[in-house]
Structures are given as structure tokens and as C-alpha cells.
Structure 1
Amino acid sequence: MSPYLRVLIVEDSEDDTLLVLRELRRGGYTVDYVRVDTPAAMQAVLDQQSWDIVIADYNMPAFSAPEALKLLQSRKLDLPFIIVSGTIGEEIAVAAMKAGAHDYLIKGNLARLVPAVERELREAQERHKRHSAERALQESEERFRQLAENIIEMVFWMSDPGERQRLYVSPAYENIWGRSRESLYANFMEWLEAIHPQDRQHIETVFFEQSLAGTYDEEYRIIRPDGSLRWIRDRGFPIRDKSGEPYRVVGIAEDISDRKLAEQQIREQAALLDVATDAIFVQDLEQHLLFWNKGAERLYGWEAAEVLGRSAESLVYKSEETLPPFEAIQTILAAEGKWQGELQQVTKDGKKIIVESRWTLVRDVAGNSKSILIVNTDITAKKQLEAQFLRTQRLESLGTLASGIAHDFNNILTPILAIAQLLPLKFPKLDENTQELLRMLEGSAKRGGDLVTQILSFSRRGVEGSRTIVQTKHLLLDVAQIAQRTFPKSIETQTNIAPNLWTVFADATQLHQVLMNLTVNARDAMPDGGILEISAENLWVDESYARMHVDAEVGSYIVITITDTGCGIPPEIMDRIFDPFFTTKEVGKGTGLGLSTVIGIIKSHCGFVNVYSEMGKGSRFQVYLPSSQLTETPAATDVELPNGHGELILVVDDEVTICQITKSTLESHNYKVLTASDGIEALALYAQYKDEISVVLIDLMMPGIDGSTTILTLQRMNPHVQIIAMSGLMSNWTTAQKRSFGIQYFLSKPFTAQALLSTLREVRDS
């Protein structure tokens, strides 16, 4: 297909026009042409359509080629312009070419026309491409200029590293650097001189080595003329020539001072969070962990690198039983933005903990829920102390109830026991059957008294027996020997007792009872066999340890540990095991007083008990007793009791039966007796017989004027009065109180005739 050519012919001769057209068609073109011979006609056709080329006769009567060329140029049209003339001098042709004509031909030699047209069309196309590229470049440069000069947060720059010259820098430079662009254009080194001395050498090196390679991306500090410091992030990108070689660098420098300040604040805040003792972590709405502070690492044992991205639920909750009500918490968070409560959790090593948890919903700037900030405080020790305190309160309340019952019960048992002992003395010729019945009565009364004593022991209101310096090592070895001989062969007994174990000031009989109760419980927990370990060691309890245990005080202790590998104690009953009459054993196999007696005896010795147990693995009971660190003393032997020598004894008790049986017992052993049923009667009798009364035997718990008030009044009447106090509740009077009142003798109800007469003998001999 022939190429299409639109030709504007400026010619006044029709014949010459036909010659030109014939030559073009011979050259293979399909020609669309218009011939004009005046400026007006040329203007008109230029307005009507676009043209590919202009062919003009040089000399015409009304219009010439130079005039046509000027008209074309005035229209700023870049079209090939070829002059065709009959005759033209060389000077005229050169002048036409200088004026803008692209070629000239002689009408007599049109053979050059087609090649000239082809050449000029090619050159016109090249010029058009070049002009389009230049216009695009100009437009791009203009857009870049407007962009660069209107963005004040960043500095756009262009440099020639080889020549060490800044070719362009945007106006933002003056605002950020505080220096003029003109000074930078004049002195490239001004940029380096503004960089902080500690950063300058590094930046100078990497800029000239890396900017042309496309790897220049640095952060550095600059010092402004006013002395202020700014942080800059500077990035460079190479510009390459046609051969791909970099020859210039363009870049962006931005002020990142605010970001650096924020990062510093974040680091400081993170450091504060890490110093915090609380566990602080952040999770997204799907419970994936986003932040985990040092406090969380310390509490849970998980390093931050181990947990980030993982589910908090799978890490700190052992089972569905301990899972918090997430749906309820989410509802409260959505409504109030925060939630607070106590949660049961586990650490990495499986240790159970209790935390006070505070949840805060974090929202983004649009108000949408983004994440949850959780602050957990370990309150495990606090909850344990609360449990110990509540258990102590419960035991004290039960002890108060039991002591009231025991007081009345002791008052009932005392005359029964005394009568059972007195009747054989009054009637020595009783038949054997009657004497056996009296012995049975005496034994039953004693067992009843022992039961009351055991009930009172758990509440620290029991009888305070004879206390001496005791080396518990002997007791422990004795208990271990009993266990080895009497326990099933399937139970292996082991001992681990410190060779230098300290002594304690204690009632050896009561401690023996404690140890037997604990070892028997351990045996019962191992019906299929196991290991019973009895150990003891010395321990210094410091302030930190004492704060963790309600009953502990700073000082030296011995710790006796009874460990079994039995079935363990269910967690749900752990808080009740020291309650009196509570037992898990079958009916008839346990009274429920074993552990309550243990806790009562140990507390009466100013000690405390800790229990650790795990189902299926066994239990460990630790008994803490204050050490004495004195030498063990041998127990005193009993001395035979003589009768009285006719001394007058004043017996004071609100229970008539006790007064009567005590009177009978004393009179049968050569004592004279006066009785009073209350404090007022006692004071009246003492005032009347003060010089004759040798000893006052008085109950501490009486209605009206109680025993302590009566004793104080008696001592005012006679500072040297000899007093024996009686009570079924030893806790009513401590050792210090007895000493402060000058009372050295005490009878625990129910008492035997032997105890009564022995105590009177001690008073008489003193």
C-alpha cells in the first residue's frame, strides 16, 4: 500500500504544480494536496487541516517562499519546508536555509524531490519525537519542582559526587538545616560541616562510596546554626546514562527528630515496664501476645521470644476449669473499657499462681478496638496468708466453743474421778466386784478427761504439761522405730535428721503425740505401700519468710518433716484438714481430732505447720518449732505423797460437787477444809480465818467475781497467801500471768487425788 502524503504547495503555476505531483506519485506516494499562491489562502488551508510537508516556489508575483516560510514559523508549525525554483543563486539558497528552509531544488532537476521529501519526513519525525521528549521532560521537571518546593517535611536534592557539587536542593533545606541553599550551592562541604562530629566521618565515607551504587541510606545528626540538634534520614538513588553508568545521585533527606524522640520515650517506657514487678503484656483481640515485659518473664518463666505471637490462653491457663470467663470479660471491656478480677494461672514449670488481673481495652485513633493491655500482680502469697488467717480464725472460733463445753464437762468429770478414787479409801472392805466397778469408773473418767484435753489441744487451750529442754532427735528416732516395727512391710521408713539438731523447750509427751498422729496419717495414706520419710533440720526464719506465714516470727527453728508417697489430699478439702472432727476416714476409723490436736499442740509451743500435697504423689507436713539451743535436761521422777498434818485448806469453786468431793478427799488425808461457792464468800471466809488457812484452792472461772479478781484481793489481804489455781482451760492464764500474780501451782481439771495431794505437798514443803 502506497504511503499517504499531505502536501501544501505554494505555487502560482498549475503546470509546475503538476510536475511536482507527477514526481511524487512516481516516487510511490498517494498525494493529497492543495495549491495556494497568496498569504490569505495559505492561512486558510493551515487552519483547515494538518500537513506533512510544504513545497514552495521561491519567486512569485504576489507571494514568495521566504514569506511563506515566515508565515509557517509564525504559526509555530514544525513542517518540512522545501523550496523549488526555476533559477536561484547560491547566496539566496544559503540565506533561505539559514532562515529555516530544509532544502532547495531546481525545477529542471526534480529527480532529487522524492529523496529530499523522504529525508525531511524522517528528520521531522525525529524532531517531533525529540520535542515531545523535551516537553515531557520539562513537564516532569516542573512537576518535580512544584512537588519538591511544596513539601516542607523532606529535602529533595541532586548531587554530582564526582564533582562534589550539589546541583539542586529543595527549599525545605533552609527550614530543616537552618542554612541557605545558595551557600550550599557555593560550598558542597557545608553539608558535611553541619553533620555532628561523631557522625561526620562515617557519612562522608559511605556517601561517596555507596550513593552511586544505590545503597546509600543513613541516619545522622546535624547541628543547626542555633546549636539545636536534629536527626536526619538521608537516602540516595543513582541516575544512569545511556550506557547504564551512574553519573548523578538524587535523594531525599527527612527530619526524623520526632521519631527519634518517640523511640527514646518508648525505650524509656519499655525500661520502666521491665523494671516493674508486675507482669505486663499486650494481646490482640484474638489473644495473640504482642508484648511481654521482664516482669512477665519473671512471674511466668517464659522468655518474650518464646511467647510473642502465641496464644496467652495456652500459656497461662492449665485447664478449662481455670479459664476465665472470656466472653463476660469481653462484654465488660466493650462497655466500660476495663475489667479487674482474680485469676488462677500456671507458670511455665506448672506452678499454680493467683493473680490480680487488670485489663484495659486499647483503641486506635478512630475508636476501634485494637488490643488489650493486661497487668497481673502475683497475689499467691497474699491469698495463702488470707487462707491461713481464715483457718486460724475458724479454729479459734471452734476452740472458743469447745472450751466452753469442755469447762462444764471437766466440772462433771472432776467429782466422778475423785469419788471413784475416794470410795476405796472410805470403804476398804468392799468386795472385789465393787472395787473392779470403781476402777472401771475411774478409768472411764480419766479417758473422758483425756478426750477433753485432746479437744482443747487443737485450740491451744489444753493443759500445759511439763516442759523441759527436749532433743527431738530422740523422739524422731523412737517414732521411726515404732513405724518400722508396727507399720506394714510395704511401707519403707527413712530418716534424715541433722546431726547438730537444735533443742526445743517443749512437752515431750505432746510432741510424741504430734509425731505419732502425723506418721499414722501417713501410713493410712499409703494402703498399697510407699515411702515414709522422717527428717529434721535447723532453720533461721528471716523477716521475709516471717511475712509469708501468719504464725512465724523471726528467729531460729527446727523443722520436722513427715513425707509420704501416698494418695495426696484433695485441694478442695485442704483448708479443712485441721478442723476438729473433720475426717475422710471411714466411720469408726478416725475421730477427726488427729490433725486438730497437732495444730493445737504446735501452736501452744509457738510453732506452726505447713502442708504441701499433690494428688497421686503424696503429702508433706512440716512442723516448725522455735529452738531453745540449750542442753537437754532429764525428766524428774515421781515422789511418794504423804498425808497432811491437819492444815486448813480453803476450797473455792462454783460447782458444789467439786467442792464436796475435794473436801472429802482432803479430809480423808488429814486436812481440814472450808468451802466457798464464789469469790465473795471466799473473801469473807479468808478474812475470818486468815491466820489459820494454809492454802487457797480456787477455780479461775466463776460467775460474779472471777478467780483472777479474787486472787488479787486475797493478795492484798495477805501478800504471802499460798494459792493453787484450778481450771479446765490452761489458756485462761499464761505462764507470764501466773508469775505476775505470784501463782506457782496449777491443777488441771479433772484432777486425780494424787495430783491434788501432790500439789498440796509441794506447797507445804515450799
Structure 2
Amino acid sequence: MVGQCPTETSVTDSSARFEAIFHQTIGGIALTDLSGRFITVNRKYSEIVGYSQSALLQMRMQDVTHPDDLPRNLQQFRAMLEGGAGFEIEKRYIRSDGVIVWVSNSVSAIKNSSGDIIQAVTFTTDVTERKRAQDEVRRLAAIIASSDDAIISIDLGMNIQSWNRGAEKLYGYPAEEAIGRPATMILPPDIGDEEHVIIERIKTGDHVQPHETRRLHKDGTEVHVSLRVSPIYDENGGIVGASKIARDISERKEAERQQNLLVGELTHRVKNVLATVNAIVRQTLGPAGPDSPAASLLSRLQSLAKAHDLLTESNWKSASLQDIVREALSPYPESMFEVAGDDVLVNARAVLSLSLVLHELGTNAAKYGALSSEAGRVRISWRTIESTDPDQTALKLRWEERGGPPVVMPSHKGFGSRLLQTVVTSELRGGVLVDYAPTGLIYDIEMAFSSLTG
């Protein structure tokens, strides 16, 4: 039997090792002739471009290269043929399924024994994810750079690391003057510790709620800002700093200040008017005895004054229905009442009307009903009556008395009852039903929901 000589065995082993390395390497390898036709490719290259190895051997490199990248690729390939030096290029392949993949190619020339270039070998790495990440970073950088909001980042030592154009505009410092300096440079002296508190919370992973605060412009003036703070993480998930987004709210703050001044002035004038009316009532109607017309009118004026106080707290916008009820019943012991109903925000006009209605009900109960007896109790409840037509949605309020003197139907309506009926009908677009039940008086008042909240 004739065996292989040592030299033949060595060549066979080397060839086998090369074949294994060629096909098992984690990078793509393709051998082409000078026209770009594939001579051989490994499995990884086939996976990257999405064609089988046999299909690729019928194709050229140009067939899988994105058309927009071909001119640059061919230019560098010709330069390699002229000078012999390899080149690197990032370009796009179009896979068999139409999906575009970004690759990094390292191309080298293969020469024969005479030094002539006869083939080219390409080592390919799929960099699609890296390119996608780079594009995302560029998009985010463009968004940050062009944002009107001031966006800065600081490290855990509170030193400024980045500073966008919005920050330059809001704080007055160009980026080169701000980056590297302590973030405390834009804090007013009286809140100098705010930055330390924020960064300590960031370090421990605590959430920092968006909040309104003040910052210092380069010229020394203060600016009011709405501030959002978020942690910055490194690739291992560790916190390395904080990003801050600040929006200038100085104009809004100035508008609020002006509004508060106007509301204060309005409140002052209303109180003066009510005080003047009180004085006129006393002088015109004489001493205000318990059941005198003057006492009734003065108590109604007092009810309106309390309603005005409720509206002052919300800059004359609205008031809570529960607060309206409780304020109207404040002259009486709290233990005599039960209040039940979901809260509703009532507009300014309806606050005054409801306060008058509840005042009349309370006054009547104190004179003739449940509030005139220690054992008396009053339950005030309300609920919304929904409708597919918003204009038909209503709020039904019930005033129900128990434990008072025997109920007697009056022979005529007094001024208070007529006032209550008029206010509900004209101001609240509703109606009143009265039940003189033996167990206690019941008022059912139904009002248009839109008249309360519109």
C-alpha cells in the first residue's frame, strides 16, 4: 500500500484548516475576480447578503451593492488596481428579500507570483445596528440642538457637560462659557442648595418630580422655569449624571402676578360695595332684630360675601360644590348635617346662585324646620342625571330634613321661597319640587349641568 508523503499530508492538513477557518469565521469573506464576479464566499457572507452560496457564484459584487454606493465603491476599487493598496468602505447591500443592510468592507488585492493583481478578497462585517444607533444619536442631537427649551446635562459632580442653543438663549451664556463649570452658576443665591438636593436624589435613583423654580441669567436677572430632571445611564446601567430640560415660564408668571393684582383689587372693591350696602340697609331699615327685614337682607349679603371669598381662592374661576355647601352651612353645627355627592367644579356665576339657594334653605330650616330643633338633621345630596344630549344632562340636589317640628304647609310663599324659585329657574335653568312630608321637608332641585360648569 502506498501512503502519502509528509509534504502531501501537510498540504492537505493546511487546506482543511483553511477551509474550516474560511467557513466558520464570524465575519463574511468573499473572493472575486477583477470584474467583481464572485469566485467563492463563506457562509457568513451568504447570511449577510441573504443569498445562497450557489446563487452568489452566479452574481457580481455590483449586483448586491446599493446603486447609490456603486460609484464610490468602483472609484476606490480602481484606485486599488492602480496602486495595489487595499481600502475600507462602509456601504449598503440589498438583500434578496429587499432589506438594506449596512456593512463595513475591508478589501485587499491578491497578486500572482509576478506581482500582478488577479483577484480581490473582501472581509465584511454587518454594521446595521451600529449605523441605526448612530442615526438615532444624530437625530436626538439635532432635536436637542434645535429645541427652544434649555437642555443641559451635568455629571454627578454637578459640572455642566452639554449646553444647547436653548440654554444659551434662556441663561445668556454661550456653550463655551458654560461647559465644565458648576451648574450652580445659574442658581439664585437663596436656592443654592437646590442643585445638591436634586443630584443626591438622582444618585440614589429617586424620581424628581417636574417642578417650577427660578434660575439666574448671565445679566443677573431671574427667570422662572418649569424644570424636568432625568438620570443619565452608562452602557452598564449605572447613573453617571442628569439631564435637565427647562422651559421659560416668565411671561406666564408675570401674567399670573397681574391677574392676582386684579383679583385682589376686585375682591377689595366687592367687599367695599357689600360693606356700603350693609350700611345702607341698617340706616334704611333700622335696627336688625332677629326676624326683621334688615336681618334677613343682611344675612343674604353675608352669604354672598362668603361665596365671594370662595371665588377669590380660585382667582374667580370656579369653586368646589362640596366647599359651597359647607360654606353655606357654616353658621350651623356641623353635626346636624350629612353631605353626600361627587365633587363638581362650579363656575363663578353659579357659585353665587347656589350660595343664595342654600342660604335660603338653611334660613328656612333654622326658623321653622329641622335646624330649629336640637334633634333635627339635614341631609344634602346630589347626583348627575346623564343624557345623550349634553344640554339635557342635569344635576339633582336634594335637601332632606328629619327630626324637626311637625311640617305644616304654608298658606302662601314668603320672599325667601320666591327668591329660591327665581334663582333656580332663571340662573340655573332648573326647577324646584317641594314635598311637605310628615317626616320632614324635602326640596328636590334639578339644575342644567351646563349652567353649573359651562
If the length of structure 2 is used for normalisation, what is the TM-score? Answer: 0.48
Tell me which structure has the larger Cα radius of gyration: 1
